[in-house]
């Protein structure tokens, strides 16, 4: 009887086991448009060339001027103090006390406003204006609202175009007096004339933006620093013709310098750091070279030239969604999470997909700062009150996911030229290039799904060498998803080749499935379809959200990459295409974690291929018990 | 082991003892065996109960899905390891998603609900389906239509993407309710819009944290 019982039990358990093992089964806050492109880059004006001169200062400005060491700047400040005494604007020393007051006092186009050394908090812009507050719901900001109530989001607003005329150009109406406005700090350095947002008593940000020039054609800002804003320190929007010279922008939660749907820009000699998105963002810049302009030498037309800048210690040094026709040269991009990032990733940006940026002669190095780990995963960025997070003391809360340790990232860009740059000491990848289908940016047309990552040229760059020729490896020189048409590589060199026989001239370390990166002479790549395995490593990272999903499952972008000096790297040592191996580090390719049932919520029962293990876990215990019972009975009988 | 269990002498001796004398307390080994046997019965019964639902709910969703309504659905077979469906976000727009299902199990099962995610305030907010509840026999197929609405963008950063790798199908089999994640042929994703496409969106970015919202 007992024998039969045990047998039945064992049979039931085994059948149950078999049955249970299932078969594997921008930020842009209003609709924006490009200017008509008829403008030009403004030229700096001396005070005697201005139609009008206004002076802004603080009580402390004369003492600050007295302590200046730059004779030219000091002389300018002293001269402006004299102008202020005549101006008699009602503030200290006859100055306007606040920059916005001076802007509001401008009566003619072509005015120069001089801002003497001091810290400008612009308190009148803080005040709650009941009429403005009532007309703003915290969301979309119309241009009309900017004109009437710019202070709802800006500390200083320069709105050039009259809302009464149909166009967006500044100067087509006599009332538009803020065209060609020049604002200039007179300190020895930009930091001497500082526009500060900061935090209110309740710990909230004072303002979204610091200085915003909106439809303000001909705007010129020089020698001023701006910092600690919820969004952007310096913002130029729908403007044709602007210069930002010698400006600094630090410690903002999004961008240091943001330009959007603007043309004829020049950003030079700037310094940006500790911004939660990027230091410099020329988003949706005018698409003036959509026909292939930047591939033509010499370059004659661009939407914005960025040169002489250092952008460092930001989440991203540079970013540009639809950063079209950007001429980015002779800059230093260092110590960011990622260096130069341009993309076609986010919808609502005019000028998509991104195209025709030109990067030349930049130093892009050591972009390995892991702010995700340091400030997001640690919970610092989750503090309820922004004022408690340490913005201003170096806290950076990345708003956008990027692979930490990457020098240049082109996520869905076309016809970009990357030439003669020093790209080194970026521990994950020197350059990343991959496809972003149109649907991701909201373009659902079938023909637009393969319209990115084509025609990019990466030539004559120095991977793993600084500008003095000293070697400092990137983790991998080139990460490419093997997708696109007419992408090409030629004339590059790499620190990995030092003392080695390289497989071919221009060889760099890469992860392509092709042994040889296609050369430009050959016409470049010919693969319109992406590599699914490689794109599989990217998608999990796209769901990053610093509040709700700061460490997405399956994404390794936020893991600090290993210093390449600590890794063994194999250089193919037999010349010839047939023997060219791909030299790759594991860290650069990524080791995505597989999706598991954890992804699907605690209440879901895992299905399909993942069922096997949990089902076995249910079955094994009773099997063991049956086996134990059988064994015990057998032992007893042997003893009896 | 079989030889020991079938030993006739041992069995007879035990039976004879019972006829002429009061049963002595079972020796410790016998108590252990009884305990283990009972435990095995209980555990096996429990296992059968737990797995019963699974027998009947081996869904197969590996067929193309479709969407009707203003939001468009784009299939990108080469994006991601499993391919990707991208659903256009149009705030407030209704969309009907068709998810073909086949009951590959051995038992009939009654589908009682379908969700795409357990996240709070999802960008694809699934509503009740007029087709449910619905009983499917073994091997039966159906094109399950779920109505949804693109919603909740005000809770998301404009760069946010939400992924829906599976449909979460709750069904009842042999009286037991089970929720299973049925992988879609391709992963479904939707991208949050810019603030200009999100009427309730706010610039201050204080509404993005959904972690403390009650479900």
Q: What is the pLDDT of residues A45-77, one digit of tens each?
A: 999 999 999 999 999 999 999 999 999 999 999
User: In the predicted model, what is the mean pLDDT of chain B?
Assistant: 77
**What pLDDT score was predicted for residue A16?**
38
pLDDT above 70: residue A258: yes
Residue of B nearest to A15 (CA): B48
Least confident span in A96-110, B22-36, B114-128? B22-36
Is B135 in CB contact (< 8 Å) with chain A?
no
Q: Which of A391, A624, A625 to mutate to test the interface with B (most CBs of B within 10 A)?
A: A625
User: How many other C-beta atoms are found inside a 10 Å radius of the C-beta of residue A3?
Assistant: 14
pTM, 2 dp:
0.83
**What pLDDT score was predicted for residue B28?**
64
Tell me the CB-side half-sphere exposure of residue A454, using CA atoms within 13 A.
14
Q: How far is CA B199 from CA A31, A63, A202, A507, B154, in A?
A: 13, 50, 27, 51, 8
d(CA A629, CA B34): 8
**What pLDDT score was predicted for residue A614?**
32
Distance from CA of A58 to the nearest CA of B (A): 30
**What pLDDT score was predicted for residue A27?**
55
Q: Which of A600, A611, A621, A627 to mutate to test the interface with B (most CBs of B within 10 A)?
A: A600
d(CA A361, CA A618): 63
Out of A531, A595, A631, closest to residue B165 by CB: A595
Split at pLDDT 50, 70, 90, the class of A633 is: very low
Q: Which residues contact A308 (CB under 8 A, 6 or more apart)?
A: A268, A269, A270, A330, A331
Split at pLDDT 50, 70, 90, the class of A251 is: very high
The predicted complex's ipTM stands at 0.78
pLDDT above 50: residue A189: yes
Q: Which CATH class is domain B59-197?
A: mainly beta
Model confidence pLDDT, tens digit, residues A375-413: 999 999 999 899 999 999 999 999 999 999 999 999 999
DSSP letter assigned to residue A339: E
Least confident span in A69-83, A550-564, A565-579, B92-106? A565-579
Taking CB atoms and an 8 Å limit, are B181 and A615 in contact across chains? no
Question: What does the pLDDT average to over B12-23?
Answer: 41
Model confidence pLDDT, tens digit, residues B163-211: 999 999 999 999 999 999 988 889 999 999 988 899 888 887 666 667 6
Question: What does the pLDDT average to over B91-102?
Answer: 90
Model confidence pLDDT, tens digit, residues A158-177: 999 999 988 999 988 889 99
**Number of residues that this document lists for chain B:** 215
**What pLDDT score was predicted for residue A567?**
72
Model confidence pLDDT, tens digit, residues A440-471: 999 999 889 999 999 999 999 999 999 999 99
Name the more confident of A627 and A73: A73
**What pLDDT score was predicted for residue A293?**
62
d(CA A158, CA A168): 14
d(CA B177, CA A594): 28
Model confidence pLDDT, tens digit, residues B22-54: 555 556 667 777 777 777 765 665 555 444 444
Element (H, E) at A527: strand A526-527
**What pLDDT score was predicted for residue B25?**
59
Domains in chain B: boundaries: 59-197
- Window 358-377 of A, Cβ < 8 Å to B: none
Domains in chain A: boundaries: 40-249, 251-264+273-561, 608-639
Split at pLDDT 50, 70, 90, the class of B7 is: very low
Split at pLDDT 50, 70, 90, the class of A300 is: confident
**What pLDDT score was predicted for residue A24?**
28
Question: What does the pLDDT average to over B94-110?
Answer: 89
Question: What does the pLDDT average to over B106-114?
Answer: 92
- Window 63-122 of B, Cβ < 8 Å to A: 72-74, 76, 78-84, 86, 88-89, 104, 106, 117-119
**What pLDDT score was predicted for residue A228?**
98
Question: What does the pLDDT average to over B95-113?
Answer: 89
Check if the beta carbon of residue A445 is closer than 8 Å to that of residue A438. Answer: yes
**What pLDDT score was predicted for residue B4?**
33
Closest CA relative to residue A459, chosen from A512, A400, A518: A518
Residue of B nearest to A205 (CA): B204
Report chain B residues whose CB lies below 8 A from the CB of A153: 203
Q: Which residues contact B48 (CB under 8 A, 6 or more apart)?
A: A12, A16
Name the more confident of B159 and A519: A519
Q: Assess whether the previous peptide bond of A298 is cis (omega < 30° from 0).
A: yes
Q: Which two tokens stand for residue B193?
A: 């819009």
Model confidence pLDDT, tens digit, residues A112-129: 999 999 999 999 999 878
pLDDT above 60: residue A337: yes
d(CA B166, CA B163): 9
Name the more confident of A336 and A19: A336
Closest CA relative to residue A389, chosen from A277, A241, A251: A251
**What pLDDT score was predicted for residue A353?**
96
């Amino acid at each position: 009887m007992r024998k039969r019982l045990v047998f039945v039990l064992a049979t039931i358990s085994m059948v149950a086991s078999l049955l249970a093992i299932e078969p594997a089964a921008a930020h842009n806050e209003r609709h924006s448009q490009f200017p008509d492109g008829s403008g030009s880059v403004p030229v700096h004006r001396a005070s005697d060339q201005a139609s009008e001169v206004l002076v802004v200062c603080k009580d402390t400005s004369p003492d600050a001027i007295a302590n200046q060491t730059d004779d030219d700047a000091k002389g300018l400040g002293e001269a402006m103090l004299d102008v202020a005494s005549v101006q008699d604007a009602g503030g200290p020393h006859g100055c306007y006390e606040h920059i916005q007051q001076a802007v509001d006092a401008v009566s003619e186009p072509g005015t120069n406003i001089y801002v003497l050394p001091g810290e400008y908090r612009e308190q009148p812009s803080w005040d709650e204006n009941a009429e403005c507050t009532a007309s703003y719901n915290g969301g979309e900001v119309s241009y009309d609202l900017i004109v009437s109530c710019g202070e709802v989001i800006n500390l200083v607003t320069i709105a050039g175009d009259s809302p009464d005329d149909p166009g967006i150009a500044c100067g087509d109406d006599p009332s538009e007096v803020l065209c060609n406005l020049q604002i200039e700090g007179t300190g020895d350095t930009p930091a001497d004339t500082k526009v500060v947002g900061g935090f209110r008593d309740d710990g909230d940000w004072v303002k979204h933006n610091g200085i915003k020039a909106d439809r303000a054609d001909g705007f010129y800002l020089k020698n001023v620093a701006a910092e600690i804003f919820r969004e952007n320190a310096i913002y130029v929007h729908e403007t044709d013709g602007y210069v930002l010279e010698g400006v600094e922008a630090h410690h903002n939660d999004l961008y240091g310098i943001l330009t959007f749907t603007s043309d004829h820009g020049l950003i030079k000699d700037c310094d940006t750091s500790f911004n939660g998105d990027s230091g410099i963002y020329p988003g949706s810049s005018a698409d003036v070279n959509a026909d292939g302009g930047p591939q033509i030498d010499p370059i004659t037309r661009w939407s914005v030239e960025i040169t002489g800048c250092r952008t460092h210690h930001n989440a991203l040094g540079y970013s540009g969604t639809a950063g079209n026709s950007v001429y980015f040269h002779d800059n230093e991009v260092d110590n960011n999470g990622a260096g130069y990032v341009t993309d076609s990733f986010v919808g609502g940006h005019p000028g998509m997909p991104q195209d025709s940026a030109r990067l030349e002669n930049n130093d892009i190095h050591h972009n390995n700062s892991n702010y995700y780990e340091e400030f997001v995963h640690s919970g610092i960025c989750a503090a309820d009150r922004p004022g408690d997070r340490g913005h201003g003391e170096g806290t950076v809360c990345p708003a956008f996911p990027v692979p930490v340790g990457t020098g240049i990232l082109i996520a869905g860009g076309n016809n970009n030229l990357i030439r003669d740059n020093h790209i080194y000491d970026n521990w994950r990848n020197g350059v990343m290039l991959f496809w972003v289908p149109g649907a991701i940016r909201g373009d659902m047309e079938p023909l637009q799904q393969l319209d990115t990552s084509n025609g990019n040229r990466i030539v004559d760059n120095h991977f793993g060498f600084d500008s003095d020729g000293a070697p400092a490896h990137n983790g991998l020189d080139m990460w490419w998803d093997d997708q696109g048409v007419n992408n090409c590589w030629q004339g590059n060199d790499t620190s990995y080749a030092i003392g080695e026989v390289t497989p071919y001239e221009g060889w760099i370390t890469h992860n392509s499935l092709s042994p040889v990166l296609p050369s430009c002479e050959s016409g470049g790549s010919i693969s319109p379809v992406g590599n699914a395995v490689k794109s599989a490593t990217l998608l999990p990272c796209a769901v990053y959200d610093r509040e709700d999903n700061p460490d997405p499952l399956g994404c390794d972008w936020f893991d600090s990459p290993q210093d390449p000096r600590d890794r063994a790297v194999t250089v193919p040592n037999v010349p010839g295409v047939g023997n060219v191996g791909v030299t790759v580090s594991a860290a650069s390719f990524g080791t995505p974690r597989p999706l598991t049932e954890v992804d699907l919520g605690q209440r879901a029962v895992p299905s399909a291929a993942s069922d096997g293990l949990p089902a076995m876990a249910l079955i094994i215990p009773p099997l063991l018990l049956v086996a134990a019972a059988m064994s015990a009975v057998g032992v007893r009988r042997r003893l009896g | 082991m079989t030889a020991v269990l079938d030993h006739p002498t041992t069995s007879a001796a035990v039976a004879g003892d019972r006829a002429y004398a009061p049963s002595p307390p079972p020796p410790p080994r016998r108590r252990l065996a009884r305990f283990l046997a009972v435990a095995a019965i209980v555990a096996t019964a429990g296992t059968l109960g737990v797995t019963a639902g699974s027998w009947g709910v081996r869904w197969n969703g590996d067929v193309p899905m479709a969407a009707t309504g203003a939001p468009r659905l784009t299939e990108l077979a080469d994006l991601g390891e499993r391919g990707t469906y991208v659903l256009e976000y149009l705030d407030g727009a209704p969309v009907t998603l068709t998810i073909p299902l086949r009951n590959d199990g051995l038992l009939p099962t009654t589908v009682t609900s379908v969700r795409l995610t357990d996240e709070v305030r999802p960008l694809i907010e699934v509503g009740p389906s007029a087709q449910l509840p619905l009983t499917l026999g073994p091997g039966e197929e159906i094109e399950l239509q779920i109505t949804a609405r693109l919603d909740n963008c005000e809770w998301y950063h404009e760069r946010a993407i939400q992924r829906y790798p599976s449909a979460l199908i709750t069904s009842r089999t042999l009286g037991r309710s089970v929720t299973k994640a049925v992988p879609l042929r391709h992963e479904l994703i939707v991208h949050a819009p810019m603030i200009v496409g999100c009427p309730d969106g706010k610039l201050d970015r204080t509404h993005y944290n959904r972690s403390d919202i009650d479900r």
